[in-house]
């Protein structure tokens, strides 16, 4: 969809108040809407990778200070938090947004497309908000402004969490939600519930997706190095070919899912994402390195895949006369993201009030992963999806999150603000009864 068609009628013309939506929510979204769009476009044009979100964090912190809050900065490298104390007694909640971008070269035609480049894992690449974290950050900035404006009548307290490195910190560094918690953000302020959202290409604009219980998969990264012996390409018998061994390994590894795991119980995904080996067409190299991801919903299945993949790597390499060093996993992964069933049931009507009951759908299990899972292990959590694909485009064929052509219909920003506000105000004014 050409950008001019979208930006000729930007979402300054916000949606009318939905039936049952709090009037203060509609008014607040209208008041902050243009700012949210402007912040999102600015952040989109200046993306930063995980643990490097210095400009974004400064933008957030300056905004929170201007609202009269006292942000804490530098948490888990670049994270920012602030607590709003309402004028009336009530519960505590936390609202979370992620700030980091991806090593993706943007291929959209929006006027604020990223031109940023960097070196990632030794390769030159562009940097892009290809997953929508620019939207999440902007939405939460708008929600913070709206809630501060309601401070005197607001019951309870709200922690705003602006988190770095949701996509994972750089190699050798700590980061993300787990590190935010390790540095104590829930030590002095322990919320009763935590809420977050994610714009999603598989939903059309105007829709919200929410699923109770296990929602997003556990994600783990693996690294396998197949070691052979270098030789001239014309004399393969003079060495040990790690390329052929790696190719056999990749094919055989698919049986870990198709023949070793009971996928009638829960889905499992094992994908290779990068293969590097050799530098010249007529040289068989010493080694080939492969990295990839494992997605699971069951802890026993997760551990089974780890063991099976390591076994396949070592034994297949051995069959070719090579060796394999298999780190499975090679870093700490994200656990399953679980939406607390009681909290989800309690807040479902709040989401329905924003877009209408017919536009709130259950997307089922999502193989994507989120480190929001760490917060939801500490306190009951609710994580929902906001449709990002323009209404005249089929979400099934739209460029996905993480695509260089990922495109956000900016009406999702208005819905994100309204949904997060409605959920927050409904919870604070009428928390679940124990």
Give me the active site residues, please.
Answer: 100, 166
CA distance 216 to 218: 7
CA distance 256 to 271: 11
- How is 127-140 classified by DSSP, letter by letter? -B--SSHHHHHHHH
DSSP letter (8 states) at residue 12 = T
Note whether 346 and 212 are within 8 A (CB): no
Task: List strands edge to edge, sheet with 360-361.
Answer: 72-75, 79-85, 155-163, 88-98, 193-204, 381-389, 208-209, 360-361
Alpha helices in 46-175 (DSSP H): 54-66, 133-149
Longest dimension (CA), the chain: 80
Note whether 18 and 395 are within 8 A (CB): no
CA distance 251 to 228: 18
CA distance 176 to 164: 5
User: By 3-state DSSP, what share of the chain in percent is helix, strand and coil, each rounded to 5?
Assistant: 35, 25, 40
Q: Token digits for 144? A: 């913070």
């Amino acid at each position: 969809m050409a950008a001019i068609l979208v930006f000729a009628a930007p979402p300054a013309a916000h949606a009318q108040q939905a039936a049952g939506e709090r009037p203060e929510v509609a008014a607040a979204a209208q008041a902050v809407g243009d700012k949210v769009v402007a912040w999102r476009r600015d952040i989109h044009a200046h993306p930063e990778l995980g643990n490097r979100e210095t400009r974004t964090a400064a933008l957030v912190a300056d905004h929170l200070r201007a609202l009269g809050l006292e942000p804490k900065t530098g948490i888990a490298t670049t994270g920012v938090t602030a607590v709003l104390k309402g004028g009336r007694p009530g519960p505590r909640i936390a609202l979370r947004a992620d700030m980091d971008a991806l090593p993706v070269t943007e291929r959209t035609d929006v006027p604020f497309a990223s031109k940023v480049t960097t070196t990632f894992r030794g390769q030159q690449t562009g940097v892009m908000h290809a997953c929508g974290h620019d939207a999440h950050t902007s939405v939460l900035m708008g929600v913070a402004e709206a809630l501060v404006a309601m401070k005197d009548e607001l019951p309870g307290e709200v922690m705003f969490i602006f988190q770095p490195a949701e996509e994972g910190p750089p190699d050798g560094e700590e980061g993300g939600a787990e590190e935010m918690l390790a540095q104590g953000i829930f030590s002095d302020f322990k919320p009763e519930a935590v809420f977050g959202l994610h714009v999603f290409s598989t939903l059309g604009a105007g829709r919200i997706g929410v699923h109770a219980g296990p929602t997003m998969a556990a994600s783990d990264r693996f690294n396998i190095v197949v070691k052979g012996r270098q030789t001239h390409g014309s004399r393969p018998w003079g060495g040990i070919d790690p390329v052929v061994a790696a190719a056999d390994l990749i094919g055989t590894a698919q049986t870990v899912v198709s023949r070793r795991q009971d996928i009638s119980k829960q889905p499992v995904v094992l994908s290779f994402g990068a293969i590097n080996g050799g530098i010249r067409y007529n040289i068989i190299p010493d080694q080939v390195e492969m990295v990839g991801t494992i997605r699971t919903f069951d802890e026993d299945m997760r551990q089974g895949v780890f063991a099976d993949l390591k076994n396949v790597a070592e034994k297949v390499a051995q069959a070719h006369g090579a060796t394999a060093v298999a780190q499975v996993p090679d870093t700490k992964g994200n656990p399953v993201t679980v939406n607390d069933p009681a909290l989800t049931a309690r807040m479902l009507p709040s989401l329905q009030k924003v877009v209408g009951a017919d536009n709130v759908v259950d997307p089922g299990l999502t193989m994507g992963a989120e480190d929001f899972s760490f917060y939801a292990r500490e306190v009951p959590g609710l994580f929902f999806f906001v449709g990002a694909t323009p209404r005249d485009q089929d979400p099934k064929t739209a460029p996905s999150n993480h695509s260089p052509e990922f495109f956000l219909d900016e009406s999702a920003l208005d819905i994100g603000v309204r949904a997060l506000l409605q959920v927050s105000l409904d919870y604070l004014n009428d928390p679940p009864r124990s």
